[in-house]
């Protein structure tokens, strides 16, 4: 029960890695509050988490919604011990599509803006709202979802890679700025992970992902949740500003 009575927020907690993380922290005794924009899935996850859990519908890209959520949580629980910035979206596409000397397509600006607003600005919004709470109470843990592609880059993911690389940079900055308040800030970089979205991909693609992973399998969402749990625990009390790869040994592009 390493998280006994720790008030833990998980953004994008309705499904996938967010759901696995919320459940894993609850197993260790945490009071888990999830937010998401998918109300049906989130309500089901909250039910699985038990009576002490709560769900709020929050768009992390909306500063006003985020601040209202944090204010309500603090009013109810008087503290926030852990924030897991998990919420994210994908809108993959090539920077340009060029055929026979002609530009035939490119990544839409709206797709770039959406991914950055959720994956990067959303992390900024939630962390900036939570940091004063943690500073006043004398400490806390902020954990940010990045990706191996934020470290290695990836074909067709300009917007996603930009957002995830930005998260790594913010993690390093906040570790330096917030350490004096007893706040630790780290990031987790998952590799190919068998979430509901990935599981729906064609078998040929899944086999290709496994073949590119030295350990020969896809990650389970619980693998990522365990990494968050470790970084949130006292066992990681001298770790801050780091990005932990949980990827089965893959190097993207090889």
Q: Which residues are catalytic?
A: 160
Partner residues linked to 246 by β-bridges: 190
**Locus of tokens 């937010």:** 35
Q: What distances in angstroms separate CA 172 from CA 108, 177, 184, 216, 242, one per listed residue?
A: 30, 9, 10, 31, 7
The closest alpha carbon to 61, from 130, 127, 125, belongs to 125
8 A C-beta contact, residue 150 and residue 241 = no
Backbone angles phi, psi at 228, to 5 degrees: -60, -40
Contacts of residue 57, Cβ cutoff 8 Å, sequence gap at least 6: 35, 36, 37, 39, 42
Cα–Cα distance measured from residue 157 to residue 233, given in angstroms and rounded to the nearest whole number: 33
Q: By three-state DSSP, how is residue 193 classified?
A: strand
> What residue has token string 């002490």?
52
Quote the crossing angle between the two packed helices 16-27 and 221-232, to the nearest 10°. Answer: 50
């Amino acid at each position: 029960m390493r998280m006994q009575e720790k008030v833990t927020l998980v953004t994008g907690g309705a499904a996938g890695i967010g759901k696995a993380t919320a459940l894993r922290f609850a197993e260790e005794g945490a009071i888990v509050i999830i937010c998401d924009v998918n109300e049906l899935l989130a309500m089901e996850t909250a039910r699985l988490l038990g009576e002490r859990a709560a769900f709020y519908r929050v768009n992390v890209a909306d500063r006003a919604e985020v601040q209202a959520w944090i204010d309500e949580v603090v009013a109810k629980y008087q503290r926030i011990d852990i924030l897991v910035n998990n919420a994210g979206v994908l809108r993959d596409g090539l920077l340009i599509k060029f055929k026979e000397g002609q530009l035939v397509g490119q990544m839409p600006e709206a797709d770039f803006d959406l991914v950055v607003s959720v994956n990067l600005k959303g992390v900024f919004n939630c962390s900036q709202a939570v940091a004063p709470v943690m500073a006043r109470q004398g400490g806390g843990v902020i954990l940010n979802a990045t990706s191996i592609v934020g470290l290695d880059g990836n074909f067709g993911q300009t917007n996603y890679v930009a957002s995830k690389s930005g998260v790594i940079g913010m993690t390093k900055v906040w570790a330096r700025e917030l350490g004096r308040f007893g706040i630790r800030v780290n990031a987790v970089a998952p590799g190919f992970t068998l979430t509901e979205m990935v599981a729906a991909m064609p078998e040929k693609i899944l086999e290709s992902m496994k073949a590119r992973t030295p350990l020969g399998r896809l990650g389970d969402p619980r693998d990522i949740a365990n990494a968050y749990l470790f970084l949130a625990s006292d066992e990681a009390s001298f770790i801050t500003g780091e990005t932990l790869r949980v990827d089965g040994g893959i190097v993207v592009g090889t």
